[in-house]
């Protein structure tokens, strides 16, 4: 049994196809198939049911894949140990970022990070929280930036900052004349929300004291874009809540529709998250340091502040 054989098994399990797996592993299909067959012969079990289209894992194959993933991840730790001993911060790093954080935070830190750590090859994807959790567990992401806490034992979290909610209330709305608002003022029935799957949507709903039945509403709309919510709000279709960083780029006319909460202002916790195996920690810590430094040093607006805790070492 070799690490390479286990790596091939994981590739086939992911792609459910020997040819696609071979392409991902940069080997020929016969080579990959032969190595997996050798492993199956050695273990005297069938890992894959080749009669199914697409290929499926057998029951014992599912257990083998779970263990294989742990073994392959642990093998990567050896290189991590060497890199940390040498003080090397580099190599490929796969980072996921949730949609309500990506457009505002990424431009703030990306240029700074790649300038400071030119040997790191970042591969960044915009993903929902559920997609991020799955990919971290499957070993397809090294880390992610998401709203927390997630309360998942297999994932560790390091808080980057606490981002306040800001109300966007157009003229004609019942709350527009309020200089500041309270959480108790919110009613989810006159709010425009992000679609299901966005953790920011869940946070907004959790803030609202009353969640009424939508059955009698004239319409119900959920969007995947905060920019769309702002435009619809401008048309008088309801209010919405924005993450604070999104308010920094809106135009002066729209700024008149921003209403801040009375203290203590509700906020979401944004963290860098990673698997409990703690692979590539030197890069994770480098990201944390750069992002936290930017937040602490650059952002304070009116009476609203983004709070960044000191990095955890």
Each residue's pLDDT, cut to its tens digit, for the chain (313 residues) gives 899 999 999 999 989 999 999 998 999 999 999 999 999 999 999 999 999 888 999 999 999 998 998 888 888 878 878 877 787 888 889 999 998 899 989 999 999 999 999 999 999 999 989 999 999 988 889 999 998 988 899 999 999 988 888 888 888 888 888 888 888 887 777 777 765 444 555 555 555 543 444 434 433 444 457 788 888 888 887 888 888 888 888 888 888 899 888 888 888 889 999 999 888 999 999 999 999 888 876 555 444 555 555 444 4
3-84 and 88-162+269-305 agree in CATH topology: no
Which parts of 139-277 fold into alpha helices (H)? 199-207, 226-234, 252-255
What CATH number was assigned to the domain covering residues 163-261? 3.40.190.10
Measured distance CA(50)–CA(181) in Å, rounded: 61
User: 39: Cβ–Cβ under 8 A, 6 or more apart, which residues?
Assistant: 1, 5, 6, 9, 47
E strand or H helix at 15, and its extent? helix 3-15
- Tell me the sheet residues that pair with 178: none
Q: Let me know the angle formed at the C-alpha of 206 by 205 and 207, rounded to the nearest 5 degrees.
A: 90
pLDDT for residue 219: 38
pLDDT for residue 287: 95
Which parts of the chain fold into alpha helices (H)? 3-15, 18-25, 29-43, 59-86, 102-116, 129-138, 199-207, 226-234, 252-255, 281-298
Name the fold adopted by 88-162+269-305: D-Maltodextrin-Binding Protein; domain 2 (3.40.190)
Measured distance CA(97)–CA(100) in Å, rounded: 8
What's the alpha-carbon Rg for the chain, to the nearest Å? 24
pTM for the structure as a whole: 0.73
What CATH number was assigned to the domain covering residues 3-84? 1.10.10.10
User: In the chain, where are the structural domains located?
Assistant: 3-84, 88-162+269-305, 163-261
CA 297 to chain centre: 24
């Amino acid at each position: 049994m070799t690490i390479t054989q286990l790596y091939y098994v994981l590739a086939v399990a992911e792609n459910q196809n020997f040819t696609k797996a071979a392409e991902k592993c940069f080997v020929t299909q016969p080579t990959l198939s032969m190595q997996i067959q050798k492993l199956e012969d050695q273990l005297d079990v069938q890992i894959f049911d080749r009669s199914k289209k697409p290929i499926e894992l057998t029951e014992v194959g599912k257990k083998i894949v779970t263990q294989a993933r742990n073994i392959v991840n642990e093998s990567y730790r050896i290189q991590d140990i060497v890199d940390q001993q040498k003080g090397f911060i580099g190599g490929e790093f796969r980072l996921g970022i949730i949609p309500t954080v990506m457009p505002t935070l990424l431009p703030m830190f990306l240029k700074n990070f790649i300038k400071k750590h030119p040997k790191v090859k970042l591969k960044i994807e915009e993903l929902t929280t559920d997609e991020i959790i799955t990919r971290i567990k499957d070993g397809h992401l090294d880390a992610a930036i998401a709203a927390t806490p997630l309360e998942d034992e297999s994932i560790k979290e390091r808080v980057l900052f606490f981002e306040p909610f800001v109300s966007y209330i157009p003229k004609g709305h019942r709350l527009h004349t309020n200089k500041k608002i309270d959480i108790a003022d919110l009613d989810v029935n006159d709010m425009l929300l992000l679609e299901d799957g966005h953790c920011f949507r869940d946070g907004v709903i959790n803030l609202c004291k009353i969640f009424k039945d939508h059955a009698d509403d004239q319409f119900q709309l959920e969007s995947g874009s905060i920019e769309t919510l702002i435009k619809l709000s401008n048309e008088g279709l309801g209010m919405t809540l924005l993450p604070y960083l999104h308010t920094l780029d809106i135009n002066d006319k729209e700024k008149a529709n921003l209403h801040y909460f009375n203290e203590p202002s509700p906020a979401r916790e944004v963290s860098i998250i990673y698997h409990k195996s703690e692979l590539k920690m030197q890069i994770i810590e480098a990201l944390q340091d750069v992002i936290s430094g930017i937040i602490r040093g650059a952002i304070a607006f009116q009476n609203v502040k983004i709070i960044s805790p000191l990095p955890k070492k």
